[in-house]
Chain A
């Protein structure tokens, strides 16, 4: 997919090339070279590398393009096509990273502002690259920003397009509702993944999405860059540019990635808050991290490679992070689910067992509300539980805090009130790209569905509501955890 916008659009919609306001300096993330700001777009004399193009390809200045005499022209300066993104990363109330890929190296420019007709602030990076990553800082909480990206040669993508916008984190104390879309094992790049996507798009409509999570196996079979292009960037382009994506690594992503040195496509593609840029305790690695959004603290763990020893790095960090958060709601996610009898069996696969036995006690001690996983290609949802760290058959009545359906109109919502017993719901949501038959008979589950679908979370001050939406838009399961007074 390629996109182009002309300099004329800058002039007509942006109110002229002279931009009024300078953006502040970018953050100190060493992975992102320092930026500088520009007062003008369209200039080629401020450090950007001019790009010369024949159609979609680069060329040398003055070279003839095409076949003369009938179909030819002169190689002239233009802007390279954007072949990936833009996509939003590591967003918080104050900052965001905007990334995109171009076919040929160029400098990077982001114009942004609150008025879609007048993108008054510009951040620019002069170092030519095909992998553009620009951190915008000094943003306001709970504010919709519009933006456009491109190169100093004049092409900006996104001008005048309302889908090139996102709302910053409203911050703690937010009393409104937050919508989170959750997909797992979505990386098939096929019609089934598209159906799941479209069903959610129709479901959410103009409500939109505040943020979204990918539960791993984001690009089959091996998480290569080409597979990510097909399964992520060509599958969800509108959402990628309008809501911050928070991924976790799955076993298939791990085929081509290495957490020893955080290399490979997964780590190259995503910019994740290892320095606590989005509100959590700094982890020092993109393999696991945490962030805040509104009144929710999210924890992303690595169930693939990181040690789950109690005195290892991940759990040491996790305990610190969980003790530090002051957010009322706590949601954790990783790839290998602690309970499943889907296409993977949590009674016999070590990756699943170790997360249940080693990580769940830590999370429950700190009051986790919801745990999301993928890996099994089905939807499985537990009762309201506490203290179940063994195999399926070891579940006993005292571990079931509430065995009802968790629905206010049914058996009643699960209650997470001060003074009530701690509990959490465990969800497997690994059917966003395909389903795989299985027994689906784990004792901890209240309901299981062998259906394509995704999970929608709606969270406000008083309640967390989860819905499983299938690929036809049917709400096959839902429950609520009430947390009023937390």
Chain B
């Protein structure tokens, strides 16, 4: 995943990967110290999953052109793929000293530091990567959320994402979950209220709404939300209802509803059953009792 996220990658040609690697190998035989060709071949080899060979190409390219941040970032990404975060961190630190504006390098170093357990520094790098990138997607906010230990900062980070991207489900859901775990149902409800109506009305979000109500002790509202979720499922076309994901969702709703529902009332037939049963019991007892 990381490799593909490099800025302005090299021209790689198109066609089958092995043929392109072979063509670059021929090119490198004539110019063995061409950092661009090494970068291209290293990138292609990484795409083939040959991370060891990719690393050799990228290390040589970096050695030949140590000031090229694109090569440094790709090398760091490959080191991360190979689970060598310490080396990636050192490389990126040197790179960022020379080019502090490289948001992508900052992001990669954040990931390296997460892997090294240096979470506070990682969060700082995520902060700067987000601030430096013009329009970061939800994934970066989620990674920062996972790296952050402070509960308030975790929620604040998601709120920053929502402010920039809108109330996307990928950011709202962890916030609601976090707040529910902390017992702050009011805050959880206000996060839910940010969702567009079209999303909030879907069965999956009705379930989450039900959980928030239940956690707040509002069992009537919780039941209503879960029933609305069931009704939403029933309104779907038959083909959409008949998928394993929808069946699992229905089972989940019914399970949660069963916990919330009061004991079932007897109903009309039940009442008749009780009366008839009681009368029969009386008759049997009379029949069995000794004549008096």
Contact = CB atoms under 8 A, between A and B. Distances in A.
A317 B47 contact: no
B171 interface: yes
Interface string B225-251: 000000000011111111111101100
Given A221-B14, A317-B169, A258 B7 contact: yes
A367 B135 contact: no
B284 interface: no
Contacts of A353: 49
Interface stretch (A139-147, A300-308, A401-409): A300-308
A432 to B, nearest CB: 13
Contacts of B166: 274-275, 282, 284
Interface string A314-329: 1011011011111110
A350 interface: yes
Interface in A395-443: 416-419, 422, 434, 436-438
B8 A255 contact: yes
Contacts of B165: 274, 284-285
A260 B199 contact: no
Nearest to A434: B14
Contact of B237 (A251, A263, A287, A326): A326
Interface in B130-180: 133-140, 142, 161, 165-171, 173
A313 B4 contact: no
B170 A252 contact: no
Contacts of B204: 320, 323-324
Given A221-B14, A313-B142, A486-B237, A258 B168 contact: no
Contacts of A264: 8
B1 interface: yes
Contacts of A343: 15-17
B10 interface: yes
A316 B237 CA distance: 23
Nearest to A252: B14
A276 B196 contact: yes
Chain A interface, >50% SS class: loop
A322 B203 CA distance: 11
B169 A366 contact: no
A311 to B, nearest CB: 8
A399 B205 CA distance: 32
Nearest to B20: A343
Interface string B1-22: 1001101111111111100000
B90 interface: no
Given A260-B103, A367-B240, A282 B168 contact: yes
Contacts of A254: 4, 9
B198 interface: yes
A259 interface: yes
Contacts of B198: 276, 324
Interface in B69-88: none
A320 B169 contact: yes
B107 A260 contact: yes
Interface size class of A (residues with CB under 8 A): 35 or more
Contact of B14 (A217, A287, A306, A326): A217
Contact of B137 (A217, A287, A367): A287
A305 B9 contact: no
A382 to B, nearest CB: 19
Given A313-B137, A323-B246, A260 B104 contact: yes
Given A324-B199, A367-B240, A316 B12 contact: no
Contact of A260 (B5, B15, B142): B5
B142 A416 contact: no
B243 A312 contact: no
B49 A284 contact: no
Contacts of A354: 1
A255 B169 contact: no
A306 B16 contact: no
15 contacts: A221-B12, A261-B103, A261-B135, A274-B165, A281-B199, A284-B165, A305-B4, A313-B137, A314-B139, A323-B245, A324-B202, A349-B47, A365-B245, A367-B242, A483-B239
Interface of A: 185, 217, 220-222, 251-252, 254-256, 258-264, 274-276, 281-285, 287, 304-308, 312-314, 316-317, 319-320, 322-328, 343-345, 348-351, 353-354, 365-367, 377, 416-419, 422, 434, 436-438, 483, 485-486
Interface of B: 1, 4-5, 7-17, 47-49, 103-104, 107, 129, 133-140, 142, 161, 165-171, 173, 196, 198-199, 202-204, 235-246, 248-249
9 closest A-B pairs by beta carbon, nearest first, are A486-B239, A261-B133, A284-B168, A285-B137, A284-B165, A418-B238, A367-B243, A313-B139, A324-B202
Given A221-B12, A305-B5, 17 more contacts: A217-B14, A221-B13, A255-B8, A256-B9, A258-B5, A260-B104, A261-B134, A284-B165, A313-B137, A328-B237, A343-B15, A343-B17, A350-B48, A353-B49, A366-B243, A434-B14, A436-B16
